[in-house]
Amino acid sequence: MFIIIYITHPNEETATSIVQHLLKKKTVACGNIFPITSAYWWQGNIENESEFVSIVKTAPENWETVVKLIKQLHPYETPCIMQLEATANIEYEEWIRNEISIVKD
């Protein structure tokens, strides 16, 4: 088992910067970045915005560390940082475990 962390960003540059930072810290094994259109409530209004999403994969033990690192770099007042438990073929799960460091704060 591993976790997927779904993060929204205001632009591609922010998404790329955060994913690269997490990779350099060895807290995630990989990240995917893609454009989306978001519709959401914010301060009493419905907003429709272009955003970018990153999806990163790591071990559950790194969840709190990854959230802390994202919050340090993220420009949003209330960033979306969502954890999903996942399973995959054993080779992929082993690859994730082999590419990260388990970080204890």
CATH code for position 13? 3.30.70.120
One pLDDT digit (tens) per residue for the chain, 105 residues: 999 999 999 999 999 999 999 999 999 999 999 999 999 999 999 999 999 999 999 999 999 999 999 999 999 999 999 999 999 999 999 999 999 999 876
Domain count of the fold of the chain: 1
Q: Is 38 helix (H, G, I), strand (E, B) or coil?
A: strand
Q: Is residue 104 in some structural domain?
A: no
- Count the helix, strand and coil residues of the chain and give each as a percent rounded to the nearest 5: 35, 40, 25
Q: Is residue 44 in some structural domain?
A: yes
- Global pTM? 0.94
Domain range for 26 is 2-99
